[in-house]
Structure 1
Amino acid sequence: MSAEEVVREFFEKVRSGQEPDAAHRLMAERVLAHQLTSENEVTVERSPANYADHVREMLDAYGPFHLSIEAFIAQADRVYVRWRQSGIHIGEVDGYAPTHQPVIEIASAVYRVEHEKIVEYWIQIDREGIRIQMERNKSPL
């Protein structure tokens, strides 16, 4: 499988919430996740089981969300993906009690694939946009 095919299947099965445990087939046992938040880059180590749990946490927070890919560019072992995730806030998120209102996440990542498995990625998420939505949703209109 090419890097493009691996990442496409990862999004269709794992990241979408449809089949989180497919992470075991598509991710290396040790994945470096470089997370950029407000110019503060943190690298955490992810495993397929850890990532599957992360997706289940998103399902607990946003229900069966909709994930749409807005850009997908593959070059050699790197694949860039930008997506929009839409769900309903049904579980606690960052201290915000469920509002049962829509929440949209816009994010992008570059994935590096080696031996048909994701081994590393660099991700940026519009966390401020999510925070603003949470604040707006908790306040009476």
Structure 2
Amino acid sequence: MTAEEVVRLFFEKVRSGRELGDAQKYMAPRVLAHQMTAEQEVTVERTPDDYADHVREMQEAFGTFELDIQELIAQGNKVYVRWKQRGTHVGETDGFAPTGLPVIEIASAVYRVEEERIAEYWIQIDRTGIRSQLESQARASVKSVD
């Protein structure tokens, strides 16, 4: 299986939340996740089970979300993916009570694949955009209560 196929199947089955039990098939036992944020770059080590739990947490916050790959570029053992995730704010997240309104996440990552499994990735998420949506929804819900 090529690196592109591994990452595409990982998105279709695991990152989408559809088949979380398949995380073992597409991820190495220990994966370095480099979270590239403006405020602080952090590297965490994830196992396939940790990652499945992470997706479950997203589902608790944003329900059964839609995940659209907008761009996928492969070069050797590295694969770049940019995606749009659409969900509904159904659970508390970042201190914001659920509003039942749509939330969109735009993100991208570069995945390094070794031995047909994701071994490392560098991810960037538009956290400010998500926070802005949540703040706007919170203001709107306060106005509707008044």
TM-score by length of 1: 0.98
Match runs of 1:2-21 below 5 Å: 2-21=2-21
* Structure 1 unaligned spans of 5+: none
**Residue matched to 2:104:** 104
Identity level (%): 66
**Total equivalences in the alignment:** 141
Unaligned 5+ segments in structure 2 are: none
**1:18-62: CA deviation from partner (whole Å, max 9, x where unpaired):** 011211111001000000111521100000000000011111111
* Structure 2 residue matching 1:110: 3-state secondary structure: strand
CA distance in 2, matches of 1:98, 1:21: 27
TM-score (structure 2 length as normaliser): 0.94
Residues 35-91 of structure 1: CA distance to partner in whole angstroms, max 9, x if unpaired? Answer: 011152110000000000001111111111000011100010000000000000000
2:43 is matched with 43
Root mean square deviation of aligned Cα: 0.8
Per residue, is there more strand in 1 or in 2? 1
1:115 paired to 2:115: yes
CA distance in 2, matches of 1:77, 1:108: 17
- Alignment pair present for 1:31 and 2:31: yes
